[in-house]
Structure 1
Amino acid sequence: YDCIQEIESAMKGMLAPKYREVQLGRLECRETYKISSVGLVIGAHVISGKVTRGSDVRVVRDGIVVAEDKIASLRRFKDDVKEVLEGFDCGICLEKFNDVKIGDILESYTMEAYQPE
């Protein structure tokens, strides 16, 4: 009986992990700034949850997903930070997308690996 369980666990370990999306937080774009050395900086307010540097982000305009990108830089005042919690303002630079408008919603998420059963 133990042999069967060991074989099952070994086979599960050989399976490629699956990924699921984990919502981290939502932000509202309050202002945008064009800075020549950096590009577009988004002044945002964290509506719910939290936002972390390096997490994936989805830009939603009028209920439609406009773009998906990654957070390249996250700042609170002039300090580079790893995360910003609900209720605080922050400055964000995205890696590629630079057409964010005031009023856009940014949904921060990360992909989590898990072993299928």
Structure 2
Amino acid sequence: MKELNVILKTDVQGSIEPIKNSIERLGTEKARAKVIHAASGSITESDVLLASASKGIVIGFNSDPAPGAQQLAEAEGVSIQRYDVIYRLEEDVGKTLKGMLEPTYAEVLGGRAEVRAIFTASKYGKVAGVYVKEGKVWRDAKVKVLRQNKVVCESRLSSLRRFKEGVTEVVAGLECGIGMEGFTDFYTGDIIEFYRKERV
């Protein structure tokens, strides 16, 4: 789990607990905010140094930096965030937590082709002559080879040619020649699916 360390400063003592609770309940099972120090008063140089040491941020709620604290924060690369309304604070901390997570990707089917012929090319070994049935085929696509509805190989497109010319993509209804990384065992009738990764 990833943690965002927070040093919290508020204008009055009575604000500390509700704001601390608001910050800490924003977490998910993958990332959470942890208030490691909370007090009332101005944001001081020691707050900045604590944030720097813990790789955290300073949040001031109706609290301003004391003389020297802002300059020290800039020198240490520490973020001081000041708020006067709680919902903006919660919104920004939520966005920060989301940004800490590793992006997740899903495979999206972009095209499907059928092997109609197999050729031997001196540079690539065996290549498949395919007819693009759906979507499109593009260079560097991630591919799956299906034989009788079973995946026999997952690889990446290494070459894409049309009329012996290298091309970047071929759309449905056209034929082309393809080569794949580490796979040449094509059979007529194989279905090749082409995928791209999209961030979700």
TM-score, normalised with respect to structure 2:
0.56
For 1:6 and 1:94, locate their aligned partners in 2 and report how far apart those are by CA, in whole Å. 45
Unaligned runs of 5+ residues in structure 1 are none
For 1:92 and 1:81, locate their aligned partners in 2 and report how far apart those are by CA, in whole Å. 10
1:1-117 matches, within 5 Å, as 1-114=87-200
1:36 shift after superposition: 3.0
Identity value in percent: 44
1:38 shift after superposition: 2.1
Output the aligned Cα RMSD: 0.8
Bigger helix share? 2
Note the alpha carbon deviations across 1:59-80, whole angstroms, 9 max, x for none.
0000111010100010111221
2:176 counterpart letter in structure 1: C
After TM superposition, the runs of 4+ consecutive aligned structure 1 residues lying more than 4 A away are: none
For 2:128 and 2:154, locate their aligned partners in 1 and report how far apart those are by CA, in whole Å. 15
For 1:87 and 1:63, locate their aligned partners in 2 and report how far apart those are by CA, in whole Å. 22
For 1:3 and 1:96, locate their aligned partners in 2 and report how far apart those are by CA, in whole Å. 52
2:129 counterpart letter in structure 1: G
For 1:6 and 1:56, locate their aligned partners in 2 and report how far apart those are by CA, in whole Å. 37
Unaligned runs of 5+ residues in structure 2 are 1-86
TM-score, normalised with respect to structure 1:
0.94
Count of residue correspondences: 114
1:50 shift after superposition: 0.3
Between 1 and 2, higher relative CO (CA 8 Å, sep ≥ 6) is seen in 1
For 1:98 and 1:72, locate their aligned partners in 2 and report how far apart those are by CA, in whole Å. 11
Bigger strand share? 1
1:37 shift after superposition: 3.0
